[in-house]
C-alpha cells in the first residue's frame, strides 16, 4: 500500500527565512497532490494543489514542487512569519477525483 | 460564508455508550467524508458519501456507521465506543469530481471525542 512520509520532527526557523517541508511517497506517483495547513484544535485548510504533469505551483509566498523521479513534493514558505506557525499536511490522490491519503504532517514554528 | 459545521466541538461519552456526531454544510457539495485523527497522526478516512452512495474503507471497524439523510447533513454513529476511539473526528466536503476533477476538500473544525 502507499506510504506517505513527512518530517516527523518539528521545523523551527527564524522569521523572514524560507521554510521547506518535505513529502515523500512510495510506489507509484499520485495523479495530484494537495497541501493543507492545520492549526491546533482546527480542521485542515486547503492551500495548494499540484498535478502530476506540473513541476511547480505558486501562490503568493507559497511554492510547491513535484518531482516524480524522486517521488517527492517540497512545500516552501518564503519570508516566513510567526503567523505561519502550524502543522502542514501533504495529501496525494491516486485518481482525479479520488480520496486523499494524508501524511502525518510537519509542525512548523517561526520565531520572531 | 459557506462552510462546514460540526457539532458538538467536544463530546464526552462513556465506554460502550452510543454516540452520534453531526456535520452540516452550506456548500452544496456532493461528496462528504468522515476522518478520524488521533494526536500527531494523519487524518484517517473512515468512509465517504458520493451523493447517497456510501463508500466504506476496508479497515473501518463495524462499530462505526454513517447516515446522510440529505445533501446538507451527515452523521457519524459510534455504536459502542471503546477507549481507542478517543480522537478528533473531522468532516469534509468536496465538489462533484465527475464535473470538476482535482477538487480540494473543505473541512469542519472537528469534534473531539473523549471516552470515560
Q: Please state the domain extents for chain B.
A: 4-115
- Which of A91-105, B6-20, B70-84 is predicted with the least confidence, judged by mean pLDDT? A91-105
**Chain B residues lying within 8 Å of A42, measured CB to CB:** 109-110
In tens, the pLDDT along A29-87 reads: 888 899 999 999 999 999 999 998 899 999 999 999 999 899 999 999 999 999 999 99
* Confidence class for position B116, pLDDT limits 50, 70, 90: very high
- Determine, for residues A41 and B104 on separate chains, whether the beta-carbon distance falls below 8 Å: no
Q: What is the mean pLDDT of residues B88-113?
A: 88
* Ordered strands of the A62-67 beta sheet: A4-6, A19-25, A72-77, A62-67, A56-59
The total domain count for chain A is 1
B48–chain A Cβ distance below 8 A for any pair: yes
A17 lies in some domain:
yes
Are A25 and A1 in contact, with CB atoms under 8 Å apart? no
Q: Is the pLDDT of residue A2 over 80?
A: no
Residues A75/B44/B46/A38 CA torsion (nearest 10 deg): -60
Query: Measuring CA to CA, how many Å separate A78 from each of A54, B15, B22?
Result: 20, 47, 38
At the topology level, CATH places domain B4-115 in Immunoglobulin-like (2.60.40)
Residue of B nearest to A31 (CA): B102
Compare CB distances from A97 to B43, B103, B110 and report the shortest one's residue: B103
Residue span of the structural domain in which A14 resides: 4-61+89-111
CB burial of residue A9 (10 Å; 0-12, 13-18, 19+): exposed
Specify which residues B25 forms β-bridges with.
B4
Which pLDDT value is given to residue A97? 52
B90–chain A Cβ distance below 8 A for any pair: yes
Output the nine-digit C-alpha cell for A103: 501524511
95-114 in chain B: CB under 8 A from chain A: 96-98, 100-110, 112
Which pLDDT value is given to residue A78? 98
Query: Measuring CA to CA, how many Å separate A23 from each of A49, A73, A85, A102, B14?
Result: 13, 5, 18, 10, 38
A70 lies in some domain:
no
What lies within 8 Å, CB to CB, of A83 at 6+ separation is A110
Output the nine-digit C-alpha cell for B80: 459502542
Q: Is the pLDDT of residue B101 over 90?
A: no
Which pLDDT value is given to residue B52? 92
Which pLDDT value is given to residue B2? 63
In tens, the pLDDT along B12-67 reads: 999 999 999 999 999 999 999 999 999 989 999 999 999 999 999 999 999 999 99
Which pLDDT value is given to residue A99? 81
Interface of A with B (CB under 8 A): 4, 32, 34, 41-46, 49, 51, 89, 96-100, 102-105
CATH code of A105's domain = 2.60.40.10
Which pLDDT value is given to residue B84? 96
Q: Can you say whether residue B102 is alpha, beta or left, with left for phi > 0 and alpha for psi between -120 and 50 degrees?
A: left
A32 lies in some domain:
yes
Residue of A nearest to B34 (CA): A99
Amino acid at each position: 500500500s502507499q506510504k506517505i512520509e513527512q518530517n516527523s520532527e518539528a521545523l523551527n526557523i527564524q522569521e523572514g527565512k524560507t521554510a521547506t517541508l518535505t513529502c515523500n511517497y512510495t510506489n507509484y506517483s499520485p495523479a495530484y497532490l494537495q497541501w493543507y495547513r492545520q492549526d491546533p484544535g482546527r480542521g485542515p485548510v486547503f492551500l495548494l494543489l499540484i498535478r502530476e504533469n506540473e513541476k511547480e505551483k505558486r501562490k503568493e509566498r507559497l511554492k510547491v514542487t513535484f518531482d516524480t523521479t524522486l517521488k517527492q513534493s517540497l512545500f516552501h514558505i518564503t519570508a516566513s512569519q510567526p503567523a505561519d506557525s502550524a502543522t502542514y499536511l501533504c495529501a496525494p490522490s491516486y485518481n482525479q477525483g479520488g480520496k486523499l491519503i494524508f501524511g502525518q504532517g510537519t509542525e512548523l514554528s517561526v520565531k520572531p | 460564508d459557506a462552510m462546514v459545521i460540526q457539532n458538538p466541538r467536544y463530546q464526552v461519552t462513556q465506554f460502550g455508550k452510543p454516540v452520534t456526531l453531526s456535520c452540516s454544510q452550506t456548500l452544496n457539495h456532493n461528496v462528504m467524508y468522515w476522518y478520524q485523527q488521533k494526536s500527531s497522526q494523519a487524518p484517517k478516512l473512515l468512509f465517504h458519501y458520493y451523493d447517497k452512495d456510501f463508500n466504506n474503507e476496508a479497515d473501518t471497524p463495524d462499530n462505526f456507521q454513517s447516515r446522510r439523510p440529505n445533501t446538507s447533513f451527515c452523521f457519524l454513529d459510534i455504536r459502542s465506543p471503546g477507549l481507542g476511539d478517543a480522537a478528533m473526528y473531522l468532516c469534509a466536503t468536496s465538489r462533484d469530481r465527475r464535473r470538476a476533477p482535482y477538487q480540494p476538500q473543505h473541512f469542519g473544525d472537528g469534534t473531539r471525542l473523549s471516552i470515560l
